[in-house]
Amino acid sequence: MRPALRKVTLGLAIAWLTLVAAMGWWMSQRTMAAWLDSLTASAEYEAENTALVIDRLFVEMTSVANMVARQSQVIQLATRYRTDPPGMAELTRQQRAAQFTSDPLVRKVGDVMNALAKDLRYARIYMNNMSDDTVTASNWAEPDSIVGMIYSGRPYLIDALRNGHGTSFGIARLLKTPSYFVASRIDDADQVPQGSVTVKFDAPEMALYLTGQHIALIVNRQGRVITASSVSFMLRNVAALLPPGTALPPDGDEEPGEPMDVRPVAADGPADQWLIDGKPYLLRRQQLSNAQYHLLTLAGMDAKSSMQRQHLLIGGLVAVAGLALILLSSHAVGQMMMQRQDERYAANYDALTGLPNRRAMLVQLDRLFALATRTQQRALVAFIDLDGFKAINDTYGHEVGDQFLVEVGRRLSAGLCANEVLGRVGGDEFVVIGLVAPPGPDDPDEAVASIRSRLVPLLIGNYSFGDCSIDYPGASFGVVSVDPSLSSTESVLKEADLLMYADKQARRAQQTA
């Protein structure tokens, strides 16, 4: 039974591992899909809300620039200093600033700008004339004042004077701070341009509004990150993340930024996944109302690999636990099978000689009678009693007596034919059963004589067990051959037993004669 049990155990183990692998993969895929859906929804929600905040900031900056540009005192000041007088460009910034700030209206408008900038946390508000010269600014009284700075060629100033409104991102000339610039044109009563008002909002201040659990990036049309909630992305280039066909080549006004290593992971899948400098992210894009900029939201996917490892670990633990249970169950079943085999063996076999016992021989005899009836043969039974066995036990001890019984069983087994069975049915009693052909008319006892001639000599002779040597004269035999249809197992055993006793008496009489 053990090979069969091993095969069953191996089959169960393979089936269990296959089931765990299949179910583990299926459950992991469902869990990962649900997690990805949740991450996508979170990133989309955060992108939408952040875009609303950034759009409001740009609207606010434009509104403030428009409001300041329409103030009567600002229009008055712009009209007064519409263009620089001849020779102004040859002066130093400080000399130009001294001339401007000597005017009380310059200082008054600058103070208003300063108060407004502080309230709104703008870096600076300033006014330029048609010569791009800074007439006044919110920091006019500070050491780093920009009054007198000539910002010629700045795109936001050019656009403001030409179109009424201008916006741009750039690196501030003095402090080297990345900043947003929004400018509005100053018109007089006749709608003649007199200059512009600019609101400057530093990118680090803008980044404070990019709050959330994910990384938010404001990217220009060249792919440069101009504001980021993560410092590692700031002023880097991620043009590959922009919507297809929207990225523009560098325009020469600003550096494009050091490119990041951006590679798609599953761009054609349900979620836009990218590797950025070796780290996985889920990308959500959001167009801002200011068409110059895009809002990108990056949801980190580092948890994906740890979740997969966790799923693999759990699957491995389940597989190991199941295998352990299968092996333990197999071991327990094996022990039960061995115990049952031992019990069956003990119930049917003699513990000393290993031969079938009385119970087993009776069962075998019933089967033999049934087979003999079907095949029209005769049943043969030989009853053997070991003469003088008690004397051997008494003389040499039970250990030698046991060895003697084992040797008797071995010798008798060696003399059996293919269809004969030997069993030990008592302390010194053995039985041989078998099938024989029906007797012929000339010699009805041929089968009986044949088995006697084969078995009787086998037990006669010397038995040596170590230092002990026994010269054994032989055993008593009672052999009978019966027609199973005319007899029974009980009667044939009784008849063989009677014949054995008759043989024993005859042998005793012969030995005493």
**Which tokens is 343 given?**
């019990």
Determine how β-strand 134-137 pairs with β-strand 124-129.
antiparallel
Question: Which H or E run contains 198?
Answer: strand 193-202
Nearest to 240 by CA among 205, 269, 272: 272
Give the Cα separation of 361 and 433 in Å (integer). 8
Give the Cα separation of 134 and 117 in Å (integer). 16
Tell me the β-bridge partners of 127.
Answer: 136, 197
Give the Cα separation of 478 and 219 in Å (integer). 112
Q: 435, 372 in Cβ contact below 8 A?
A: yes
Tell me the β-bridge partners of 384.
Answer: 430, 477
Do you know the residue count of the chain? Answer: 513
Give the Cα separation of 241 and 172 in Å (integer). 26
**H helices present in 349-442, as ranges:** 358-375, 389-396, 398-414
Give Rg (Cα) of the chain: 56
Q: Count CB-CB contacts under 10 A for residue 141.
A: 13
DSSP string for residues in 96-139: HHHHHHTSHHHHHHHHHHHHHHHHHT-SEEEEEETTSBEEEETT
Q: Count CB-CB contacts under 10 A for residue 287.
A: 13
Give the Cα separation of 198 and 185 in Å (integer). 9
Give the Cα separation of 84 and 346 in Å (integer). 124
Active site residues: 428
Give the Cα separation of 217 and 227 in Å (integer). 6
Question: Which H or E run contains 31?
Answer: helix 2-69
